[in-house]
Structure 1
Amino acid sequence: MKIAIKQSLLSLFFFAAIVGCAPKADKKLPYIGEPDIEEKIVDGKTITDTIYHRIPSFSFLNQDSVLLTEKAFDNKVYIANFFFTHCPSICPTMQRNLLKVYEKYKGDDRVSFLSHSIDFKFDSPSVLKAYAQKLGVTNEQWQFVTGSKKDIYGLADQYLVYTREDASVPGGYDHQGYLVLVDKDKHIRGAYDGTNEEQVAQLFTDLEILLQEK
């Protein structure tokens, strides 16, 4: 898989996130992504605020041909990833591992799941519906969405996930298998290789930490 600059940066952020993996009540996960520093003057004093990277607004069709926006994830912790249904390489393992997380939190309205298809040509809502059913998803807690190339790939950049069309790779699409952990305020708090058992185990740990944050 080709290496992008942001892939290396995200790997560094991930390394920082997994240091000290034992869950603690007072432990906080890091914020992933380059923050903006904002200065303002209050009562004659300069106040510095750190503005952490957030997932922006979006609008996609889901597996039921219903328009899904970021508002569906308001006040929820969610895990996002990018895949395509006929992927012959990393997607089957990534999705099976994400299914383990889904099965543990199934019925827990604090947690949602969001899979974006990067195959805007083939993965129609009906295809995504059949895929979700075959995978074992039985409720609306896990959403599968499709959209234009510009919108899906642009949002992947916001998640710091590398995606591109590439006829030279199996399936015609090159992408990373990160499972991205997003908090209630839509800040990225962790990214985990969905094909790696140890990193998926870390996701379980970090998800619990995030759910305990106040």
Structure 2
Amino acid sequence: MKKSLSIIPLFLISVLSIWACSTKDYESSNNKTLPILGNWHINEIEGQSGQDTVFHEIGDFKFINQEKKEINKQSVAGKVYVADFFFTSCPTICPIMKTQMLRVYEKFKDEPDFLILSHTLDPEHDTAELLKDYAAKIGVENDQTWHFLTGDQEKIFEIGQTSYLTTAMEDKNEPGGLLHSGAFVLVDQKGHIRGVYDGTKEDQVNRLMKDIPKLLE
């Protein structure tokens, strides 16, 4: 039986910004090891002298991709992936985000242990069929690497905010009626967040592309 000793609160910033917080100083001096981000706590194992550090982890999910194939937590286990949130009719940052994500896709599309998960915030409009057309229009040919996901809107909002710790919600005052950040969230093979990058900025995406191989190695 495990007993929780402490809880470290999340370091969150405003809904329109990208947060980045290190749970512990796991980053080496040569900058080859990425930190584990999010909240964490330490468990003491009763009857033993050891302790466990429990890190934030992406929760269970089940969505459908552009090929009407179910993608869930088990589907991505053991893979490095980048997650983001968008919608096809987005009149603001989404086109910029997808232009930048295409750079990531082109560089890593042949890497068998890498994936991209793009979650639509407007599943009523963004059906699997529409997402398949959208993927083709922007030049995505390998649907084994880049999954455009649709499903229950509330579940998408929930996983965006509670698992990926980014902004994903309805807001009638925003263009398109939806509010989301431009975050590209880098997740490792164990479901831990290892980096958050502004997907609207080329230099941030350059840094993402340098960090992905650190996890693949």
Match of 1:201?
Answer: 206
Q: Is 1:30–1:189's contact at 8 Å kept on the other side of the alignment? A: yes
More helix by share: 1
Supply the distance in 2 between the matched residues of 1:12 and 1:192 (Cα, whole angstroms). Answer: 8
SS class of match (2:149): strand
Identify which of 153, 160, 169 aligns with 2:157.
153
User: Which of 3, 7, 10 lines up with 2:13 in the alignment?
Assistant: 7
Q: Is 1:177 matched with 2:185?
A: no
Q: Deviation per CA, 1:136-186, whole angstroms, max 9, x where unpaired?
A: 110121001111122101110110111111122111111001000000001
More contact order relative to length (CA 8 Å, sep ≥ 6): 1
CA distance in 1, matches of 2:174, 2:78: 38
CA distance in structure 1 between the partners assigned to 2:111 and 2:180 by the alignment: 29
Structure 1 range deviating more: 33-42 or 108-117: 33-42
Give me the TM-score of the superposition, normalised by structure 1.
Answer: 0.87
Instruction: Provide the rounded CA distance (Å) in 1 between the counterparts of 2:47 and 2:35.
Output: 28
Letter in 2 for 1:187: H
Partner Cα distance (2:43, 2:190) in 1: 18
1:77-116 matches, within 5 Å, as 77-116=80-119
Contact 1:7 1:162 in 2 (8 A): no
Q: Does 1:135 align with 2:141?
A: no
- Counterpart of 2:151, as a letter, is G
- 2:202 aligned partner, one-letter code: E
AA aligned opposite 1:89: T
The runs of 5 or more residues in structure 2 that have no matched partner are 1-10
Deviation at 1:10, TM superposition (A): 5.5
Amino acid at match of 2:19: S
Q: How far, CA to CA, are the matches of 2:115 and 2:63 in structure 1?
A: 16
Q: Distance in 1 between matches of 2:18 and 2:55?
A: 15
Separation (CA, whole Å) in 2 of partners of 1:96 and 1:191: 17
How far does residue 94 in structure 1 lie from its aligned partner after superposition? 0.7
Q: Give 1:113 deviation, angstroms.
A: 0.6
Question: Structure 2 length normalisation: TM-score?
Answer: 0.85
Which amino acid is 2:135 matched to?
A: A
In 2, distance between residues paired with 1:10 and 1:36? 23
Q: Is the 8 A contact 2:66 2:147 kept in 1?
A: yes
Indicate whether 1:41 and 2:46 are aligned.
yes
How far apart in 2 are the matches of 1:80 and 1:90?
16
Residue aligning to 2:122? 119
Asked whether the 8 Å contact 1:64–1:129 carries over to 2, the reply is: yes
Alignment check: 8 A CA contact 2:18 2:197 kept: no
CA deviation string 1:162-211 (max 9, x = no partner): 11111221111110010000000010000000001111111011112222
C-alpha change, 1:185 and 1:162, in structure 2 (3 Å) is: same
CA deviations over 1:117-143 (Å, ceiling 9, x no partner)? 011221111111111111111012100
Query: 1:42 deviation in Å?
Result: 4.0
| Count of equivalent residues | 201
Percent pairwise identity: 40
Query: Do 1:62 and 1:144's aligned partners in 2 also have CA atoms closer than 8 Å?
Result: yes
